[in-house]
Structure 1
Amino acid sequence: MSVPPPVPLPLSVGQEGLWLAHQLDPASPAYNVVLAVRLRDRVRTDVLQEALTALVARHELLRSRFPATESGPARVTVPADDVRLDVREVPDHDDDALFRLAQEAAEEPFRLADRGAFRAVLLRRAPDDAVLVTATHHIVSDATSQWLLVRDLFAEYGARTGQPAAGPAPAAGDWSGQVASERAFIASPRGERAAAYWRERCAGLAAAELPTDRPRPPQRTLNGATTELELPAATAGRLRETAARHALTPFAWLLGTFQAALHRSGAGDAFLIGCPATTRFTPESRNAVGYYVNALPVAARFGPSTTLLDTVESAQHQLRTGLAHARHPVELLDGGPGRGPLFRISCTLVAADRLPVPGLYEGPVRLGGLRAELCDVPQQEGQLDLTVEVLQDSRGFRAVLRYNTDLFDAATVERFRDTWHRLVDASLDAPDTGAGDVVLVAPDDLEFLLFLGAGAP
């Protein structure tokens, strides 16, 4: 008796955009979302496979394929045991080589139509020393999802090796229901009001663009690299204190100064950036793996009297009001090729203390009875001109700046990073300083430049 083929299921608006991006450059790792952990105990691969099967049975997107149909991209599911753990024996590799292998496993392209959007690779250097690389395509995942799947995978592993359970597994959301809910919202009066809100917010504004080192290619590319900004502990403390004194959040403060840095770096006096925000609005969705993200457009407008505090306050107000309309996918507002993309630059917050695997960002933890620590491989580089992820934990704030290498040299992005850092410091020293009045050259460098300008005696 033949088994009927699976029924194709619809995609969300965001998934349709990611599917198209994959068709344009299927070999790019720009949309690979990765979480890798170093395991320092003996791993039973048979048990890990059982845990993996239970994981993908629980989260249907991890066992989904994304073929093209006559009516466009669709989703079909496969049996959970079709997803296999990939065990690679890598003896005689030092730590640096093991890290490179983890990065290579993370960057391998996905074949969405016939192999799906999830893989788990165990790089085993010794029986008690391995790296587990979990990689998804963004079409089935977001930052929270990657931590959820690692949490659930090791909970399943621990349950099979006699580890005490923290409690019953929380219910996971139904992705088809999420897509149906999104479509119903878009067509509803509330959805129409949300669309009108975003149209008004974006009217007359174009995507922020930094001056590039090379002409923009006629076709979008996804090649990227990463640089970082870590605020000193003293600065992080002042940021928290100053933001609280003004009834603002630290992220809003960093976002406003980020916009000021774009303005001072050549992005102009008025522009839009995107701030990805979660759409996990139900208890079930908070424990589900999926692409639960919509971007919030955040506008910046600078005039002669605009202060750094004005910019920060505007950023916070827009984030708060925008969250009320976050269910509406802003991709529907692009307005066609004549307008261009809504964003070329984005900035988002990841709060480590709210992630589903507490402590992993900051040091070794136990997962399913195994000693584990984060193996922080580069990822998601080149999605836009510039994407910034602000990581907040008990130690402070670290910003990961991922940029398109076909547009920018490393030195250009590092100069922008330093400008942002200088504006953060200036805003904490004197929030009412004009955004255009901050001196962006260090005092010693300024003295040297003035000396050169005056001419040597």
Structure 2
Amino acid sequence: MLMSAGQEALWVAHQLDPDSPAYNVVLAVRLRDRVRTDVLQEALTALVARHELLRSRFPATDEGPARRADPPATVRLDVREVPDADEAELVRLAGRAGREPFRLGRSGAFRAVLLRRATDDAVLVTVTHHIVSDATSQWLLVRDLFAEYGARTGQPARAAAAAVSGWDEHVRAERDFVTSPRGARAAAYWRAVTEGLEAAALPTDRPRPPQRTLNGATDEFALDPPTALQLRETSAERAATPFAWLLGTFQAALHRSGCGDGFLIGCPVTTRFTPGTREAVGYYVNILPIAARLSPATTLAETVESAQRQLRTGMAHARHPVELLAGGPARGPLFRISCTLVAADRLPIEGLYEGPVRLGGVRAELCDVPQQEGQLDLTVEIIQDSRGFRAVLRYNTDLFDADTVERFGDTWQRLLGASLDAPATRVADVALVAQNDLEFLLALGSDTP
């Protein structure tokens, strides 16, 4: 069975640190009604029968990594009784279940853990390795799991899902594209984008270890409602998306934080380009190289315009796997920093991000647990929902202290605010310290002995 270029890269990353949870994708839901574990197991078996990657293993062979699909019944629900856990302990246990490492060659890349405090009080933790999943996939599998559960417990069945493409079919299409004239043009485009640039690298608090590590933590901030509204209105006036505006000012913040005048960041995007892939669980992701080239005269508006242009043009070439552009170890990594958008209203389970919903007749709500920390120096996920925008910054703790990442977030927000108030302002002219703080610091330096 076939593996995509992205999967092969993830397999290599796993071999370098097989105990790391950095590539574990987690969706945990709190269940507030009685759940029949025998029926949930039946639903789980039906789920993995439908989505082949969820029952796949990835052993090493003499020819390199391989994929093997096991029978659906081999994937078992892991029920853990936790009757004495309080709320905090339950969330802690959910996080721990999400962090447990995978043994890709032996036991595969998917597990479902039910932490049961009572018959009508539990948390279901679904965990995949990124090699078989992405953000959309994690929500798809939970949606399909509870659709199967509801169908077996007399709940009204949702409309039958569209047929899903087999993974081998997707990989063949990827390989055919790479060797086609369109693939050659896409490769040439990405070579031009990346020419002469290296991966953005923020100044670190500690020396970079000789071998890459995957230890991480998370910081986050939300835009206040007036700023979120201003972002939507101003970006629309200038024919840009809110994400492009945030991405452009993110690049400006990296520049002002020590990344230099020219650098690359990665922007993960979906590769679900055909109807058969839109309902499928899998690693349907490519990472677009986004270039920053700034000068002392570059304005905030110009960083936004550049981001908008690169996103639009880059999507036309997104079928070409970025892993084929890396250029080998001599070039170094293509990315150390990434930024992506998660549009909550486009996820397969409507409303779960914002409050309780019913899944298969069961009351459920999101149980937010840390995940995917330390994949790169810094990965940023912008979550957009009806309440506004929230930025989740996951960083490598062997490189950065929490204060450093928080300070970078403040810089980004200050540049964002300046861009909304006065887009023609030069990036270099934005004050990164509030006026009252600046006056205080100047006063400290004015005293004479």
TM-score (norm 1): 0.97
Distance across 1 between alignment mates of 2:307 and 2:206: 30
Distance in 2, Cα, partners of 1:10 & 1:326: 20
Q: Distance in 1 between matches of 2:159 and 2:199?
A: 46
| Paired letter, 2:404 | T
Q: Indicate conservation of the 8 Å contact 2:161/2:279, yes or no.
A: no
Which of 175, 183, 202 in structure 1 is aligned with 2:175?
183
Superimposed CA distance per residue, residues 401-456 of structure 1 (whole angstroms, 9 cap, x where no aligned partner): 00000000111111101100111111111111000100000122111012112227
| Counterpart in the other structure of 2:70 | 78
Q: What is the aligned partner in structure 2 of residue 440 from structure 1?
A: 432
Aligned positions of 1:12-91 closer than 5 A: 12-91=4-83
Query: 1:363, 1:121 → 2: CA distance?
Result: 22
Identity within the alignment, %: 78
Equivalent position amino acid for 2:29 in 1: V
Which runs of no fewer than 5 residues in structure 1 stay unpaired? Answer: 1-8
SS at match of 2:248: helix
State the SS of the aligned residue for 2:393.
Answer: strand
Per-residue CA deviation, residues 334-371 of structure 1 (Å, 9 max, x unaligned), is 11111100000000000000000000000000000000
Distance 1:170 1:371 in 2: 26
Q: Which residue of 1 is the match for residue 418 of structure 2? A: 426
Q: Report the 3-state secondary structure (helix = DSSP H, G, I; strand = E; otherwise coil) of the residue aligned with 2:428.
A: coil
Task: Please say if 1:136 is aligned against 2:114.
Answer: no
Q: Distance in 1 between matches of 2:17 and 2:151?
A: 40
Shift of 1:172: 1.4
CA distances 1:177-212 after superposition (whole Å, capped 9, x unpaired): 001111111111111111000001100000000000
Code of the aligned partner of 2:167:
W
Alignment partners' CA distance in 2, 1:60 and 1:456:
73
Which whole-Å CA distance do the structure 2 matches of 1:229 and 1:313 have between them?
Answer: 24
Shift of 1:170: 2.0
What are the within-5 Å matches in structure 2 for residues 206-217 of structure 1?
Answer: 206-217=198-209
Match of 1:371 among 363, 366, 372: 363
Q: Deviations over 1:67-110 (max 9, x none)?
A: 11111101010100000000000001100000000000000000
Task: Please state if 1:167 is matched with 2:159.
Answer: yes
TM-fit CA distance, 1:166: 2.0
2:268 partner amino acid: P
SS of the residue aligned with 1:427?
Answer: helix
- Alignment of 1:101 with 2:96, yes or no, is no
Task: Show the counterpart of 2:322.
Answer: 330
Residue deviations 1:365-386, cap 9 Å, x none?
Answer: 0000000000010000000000
Structure 1 residues 456, 239: closer, same or farther in 2, change over 3 A?
farther
Q: What per-residue deviation string (whole Å, max 9, x for no partner) do you get for residues 218-256 of structure 1?
A: 111000000001000111000000000101100000000
Amino acid at match of 1:30: A
Q: Measure how far apart 1:173 and its partner are.
A: 1.6
Query: Which residue pairs with 1:303 in the alignment?
Result: 295
SS at match of 1:42: coil
Task: Tell me if 1:262 matches 2:235.
Answer: no
Select 1:271's aligned residue among 251, 263, 268.
263
CA distance in 1 between counterparts of 2:85 and 2:152 reads 30
Contact 2:2/2:167 (<8 A) preserved: no
> What corresponds to 1:3 in structure 2?
none
CA distance in 2, matches of 1:134, 1:436: 45
Q: Distance in 2 between matches of 1:47 and 1:149?
A: 16
RMSD: 0.8
Whole-Å Cα distance in 2 between the matches of residues 84 and 120 of structure 1?
8
How far is 1:34 from its partner?
A: 0.3
Q: Is residue 449 from structure 1 mapped to residue 449 from structure 2 by the alignment?
A: no
The alignment of Structure 1 onto Structure 2 pairs a total of residues equal to 449
Question: Which whole-Å CA distance do the structure 2 matches of 1:155 and 1:124 have between them?
Answer: 21
Aligned-residue offset at 1:169: 2.2
Q: 2-side partners of 1:277 and 1:108: how far apart?
A: 27
Runs (4+) of structure 1 exceeding 6 A deviation are none
- The TM-score normalised by the length of structure 2 is 0.99
Distance 1:305 1:199 in 2: 26
Is structure 2 residue 190 aligned with structure 1 residue 198?
A: yes
Q: Deviations over 1:132-160 (max 9, x none)?
A: 00000000000000000000000000000
Q: Is residue 357 of structure 1 aligned with residue 349 of structure 2?
A: yes
- Could you tell me which runs of 5 or more consecutive residues in structure 2 were left unpaired when the two chains were aligned: none
CA distance in 2, matches of 1:174, 1:181: 11
Please say if 1:408 is aligned against 2:400. Answer: yes
The separation in 1 between residues aligned to 2:109 and 2:322, in whole angstroms, is 24
SS in structure 2 of the partner of residue 287 of structure 1? coil
